[in-house]
Amino acid sequence: DGIEISPQVEPYNHYEMCWGRHTCHMGVVKILKALSSIPEEKRSNAVRNTIDAAVEFLLAHHIYKRSHAPDRIAKPSWQKFGFPLMYQTDVLEIMTIFADLRVRDPRLQDAIHLILSKQEAGGRWRIENANDRMLVSFGERGEESKWLTLMALRVLKSYDDASESMGLHIT
């Protein structure tokens, strides 16, 4: 946050929304995803501090909301689940990262409820955001997805196990 002059080189000069007063939310998620893949015992203090800062940044936004107005959605597209996402992200991907990091915080309640709200009667999740640029299809919009279902069930299992200590209600 706080960079007043954006870089004037490709490709950054086209993405002013990622420079200036606010940090690029997708950039934070992808950096967090990369750093969280480093085994805990191999993380430097700088990596641990960056992970902690990224987690707190996303928690301050209740994952996909406005930090100063948590009742307002800041990232509506993040509510549409897809796989694979490439540079984009969604609540399910973020919650997968948080589950892997064992992040436990009551501010995750809305994200967990969003995941639960998208479960179909048959227990699966549907693709809402499809990447049409893949050489191999992972499914079309509207189809049930085994990948999204696996991710959602892993997240819900992780938080179900910790729900009592976190004050979460997973139903």
Q: What is the mean pLDDT of each run of 10 residues along the chain (171 residues)?
A: 62 62 82 97 97 95 85 88 87 96 94 95 91 70 90 94 60 55
* Confidence (pLDDT) at 141: 80
Beta bridge partners of 69: 66
Is residue 155 classed as helix, strand or coil in its secondary structure? helix
* Confidence (pLDDT) at 155: 96
* Confidence (pLDDT) at 19: 58
What is the spatial distance between Cα 110 and Cα 64, in angstroms, rounded to a whole number?
Answer: 9
List Cβ neighbours of 14 (8 Å cut-off, separation of 6 or more).
none
* Confidence (pLDDT) at 112: 95
Rounded-to-5 percentages of helix, strand, coil across the chain: 50, 5, 45
What's the first-to-final CA gap in the chain, in angstroms? 37
* Confidence (pLDDT) at 144: 92
Residue 87 corresponds to which tokens in the numbers above?
């540079």
**DSSP annotation of 133:** T
* Confidence (pLDDT) at 46: 97
What is the spatial distance between Cα 107 and Cα 44, in angstroms, rounded to a whole number?
Answer: 27
CA 122, distance to chain mean position in Å, is 24
* Confidence (pLDDT) at 17: 60
* Confidence (pLDDT) at 65: 87
